[in-house]
Amino acid sequence: MDKNEARYAEIATLGIHWGNLTSTSVAIELYTVHIVMKRLNVLALLLCSLTTTSLIHASDSASSEELNRWRFGVHYFQGTVNDFSEALTGRWDTIDPNGVRVNLSYLMIERLWDLPLELLVDGGLMWHNEQGYQDNVLQSTLAIKFAWTGFPWNDYIRTRIAISEGLSYVSSIPITEKMNRNSNSSQNLLNYLEPSIALNCGDFFKLIGLGPKASNPIYDTWLVGSIPHRSGILGLFGEDDNGDPITGGSNYLSIGLEMEF
């Protein structure tokens, strides 16, 4: 804990000791804002550093200019009441709320640390159809994405397994999140995590004997499955109305197509 964090924590402790609830509430809010701003600053510095690194890597290889560096995706997602670990292991108890998600990624580095590891910056919008439970919700995300591309079966079907980490902001708390948190309050700004797997569509059709010509744009199209996840990371993003740290959030099952260009 740095000096500023210690100062805010001390103010909150004094407020509780003297029974000054107003001061305590303000101190807690200041402490929460301070933590979140630190996270935003770290993310911004990391993005700047990675951008500089990507420019250096791009200048080292003439072939990098021939890469399709942009990726645009359209996805359908469905809410689930399972926690993140359950969703990862295939326990998918879906609920009514669903929606559509679009994302735009930029490939910064094709081989990070000279490994088959891509580094991208990814931004997205998610429109939540709340199925009449409440007003529909708009969610925005910004993340850095690491995608592993080195698999022994790539000669047959190219594959990517990726993880995105960043921030998520919602216009209001989605009903899926309220259900997962047993109606406890949450925060509009939370951590965003999204594991995903992608298979090349052109390679798939070629594998089953229906492969189009090599110039067909389907070879630049990928089928993507993922689990978009929001959470408070053990209270890092503040507390709920009961004063408890926000440790959970919401999980969705997503499938869609992503085009390189």
| Closest CA relative to residue 194, chosen from 44, 108, 49, 88 | 88
Return the exposure string of 111-141: e unless at least 16 CB atoms fall within 10 Å of the residue's CB, then b: ebeeeebbbbbbebebebebeeeeebbebeb
**Degrees (nearest 5) of the Cα angle 48, 54, 55?**
95
DSSP secondary structure of 144-169: EEEEE---TTTTTS-EEEEEEEEEEE
Is pLDDT of 14 > 90? Answer: no
Q: What is the pLDDT of residue 261?
A: 95
254 to each of 74, 96, 164, how far by Cα in Å?
Answer: 10, 14, 14
How many CB atoms lie under 10 A from the CB of residue 199?
A: 15
Per-residue pLDDT averaged across 202-210, rounded? Answer: 93
**Answer CATH for 67-260 from 3.30.70.20, 2.40.160.20, 3.30.360.10, 3.40.640.10:** 2.40.160.20
Q: Which residue has the higher pLDDT, 212 or 139?
A: 139
pLDDT tens-digit map of 229-254: 999 887 788 777 777 778 778 999 99
- pTM for the whole structure: 0.76
Amino acid letter at 153?
Answer: W
Q: What is the pLDDT of residue 233?
A: 87
pLDDT tens-digit map of 86-124: 999 999 999 999 999 999 999 999 999 999 999 999 999
How many CB atoms lie under 10 A from the CB of residue 233?
A: 14
Please, where are the H alpha helices in 61-191?
84-88, 175-180
Q: Which residue has the higher pLDDT, 10 or 82?
A: 82
Q: What is the pLDDT of residue 163?
A: 98
Is pLDDT of 85 > 50? Answer: yes
Percent of the chain with pLDDT over 70: 74
Q: What is the pLDDT of residue 76?
A: 99
Most confident of 33-47, 61-75, 210-224: 210-224
For β-strands 189-200 and 94-109, DSSP reports them as unpaired
Query: Contact 121/145 with Cβ under 8 angstroms?
Result: yes
Amino acid letter at 15?
Answer: G
Q: What is the pLDDT of residue 186?
A: 84
Q: What is the pLDDT of residue 20?
A: 47
Q: What is the pLDDT of residue 106?
A: 98
pLDDT level of residue 227 (50, 70, 90 thresholds): very high
**Segments making up each domain of the chain, as ranges:** 1-65, 67-260
pLDDT tens-digit map of 140-187: 999 999 999 999 999 999 999 999 999 999 999 999 998 887 766 788
